Amino acid sequence: MDQQPGRRTVGPGLRRAADYAWRLLILGVALYVLFRVAVRFELVFIALFIALILTSLLWPPVRLLSRSMPRPLAVLATALGGLAVLGGLGWLVTDSVANESGDLSSEFRGGVDRIRTWLQGAPFHVNPQTLTNLQSRLTTWLSQHRSTLINQAVNEAGRLVDVVTALALAVFCAIFFTVSGDRMWRWFQQQLPEGSRETWSRCGRTAWQTFAGYTRGIVLVAAANAVMVGIALQILRVPLVLPLTLLEFLLSFIPLIGSPIALAVATIVALASRGVTTAVIVLVLIVVIGQIEGHVLQPFVMGWAVRLHPVVVAICVIAGTSLAGLAGAVVAVPLVSIGWAVWRALRESRELPDPEFDSSPHG
């Protein structure tokens, strides 16, 4: 039929944009509902995330040991070995702090005096009376808010029960994921419509490979950062080398900002215990290790598992932190990496030619 005179028609570009708009709107609502559910059951989701991390780390040694023993025994041996390593690290950190606690108090008192002398000299020329007033105000504020600080510390200590519960649930789930994760995944696929099983299988396989690659890569990057920081602090004779090295390892799981935060803590310790020169060297170390991590470790170790631009990584970390704090900063990058990898896998599968109509000689 001919169009009526004066009647406006919607162009194909606007119609296509509208189609994408309502689909994106529905997807955004679904993601928001999923986020609210995750926040409501935060403890469970954190435990499952930790369980997946443990599973990805346990699986390589379990697969190796399964060649000579049943898989449950391989899982048990690997888990006991991991607990032994963690217990040994905890004992070493505790022993290091206990051995250095006697000298640390005197070193820090001397370090505070050195900082005061440094601030009073060039180029700052801070008035000594100003520093004295600042110290007295800080002491007064602490005495006035002592009860509030104690109550807050007690409340935070109460969250240790949640932490222990999450860790126990994570270990419990990780053991079952490692022993029978493949059977659990096959059971899940059987509950789906037969026509969509292949797509879900491809998505699940891609998601797990991306997550496992990211986890093992970030562990290697964190270990390399910790080794470099530990050696440098040992050479500089900064106290608490082992706790600071462990802090560097743990915070390196937060991309881009974790390692500088750990080294900032090390800078404060170096400033109070060894003086300004050592603290400046540790500050330079932040830049050096950042360059090594960004230009050597991340492209070499993580490039094959996570194909995200550094700008995207930075945005993910900041967005995750603003939405869910520390937990959001940790999980943001792997979640976005998994989503991007699954999208690429689905797009590549759609672009593959249908074998039934492929006219090439090898089709």
Q: What is the mean pLDDT of the chain?
A: 81
Lowest model confidence (mean pLDDT) among 118-132, 217-231, 283-297: 118-132
Q: What is the pLDDT of residues 235-289, one digit of tens each?
A: 988 888 888 898 899 888 887 788 888 888 888 888 877 878 888 899 898 888 8
Cβ neighbours for 301, distance < 8 A, ≥ 6 positions apart? 217, 220, 221
Cβ neighbours for 88, distance < 8 A, ≥ 6 positions apart? none
Rounded to two decimals, the pTM is 0.77
> With pLDDT > 70 as the criterion, what percentage of the chain qualifies?
85
pLDDT band at 51 (very low <50, low <70, confident <90, very high): very high
Angle between helices 71-120 and 160-190 (to 10 degrees): 140
What is the mean pLDDT of the segment spanning 161-185? Answer: 89
Whether residue 229 contacts residue 248, with contact meaning beta carbons closer than 8 Å, is answered with: yes
pLDDT band at 40 (very low <50, low <70, confident <90, very high): confident
Lowest model confidence (mean pLDDT) among 60-69, 141-150, 204-213: 141-150
Determine the pLDDT at residue 362: 42
93-128 burial, b for 16+ CB within 10 Å, e for fewer?
beebeeebeeebeebeeebeebbeeeeeeeeeeeee
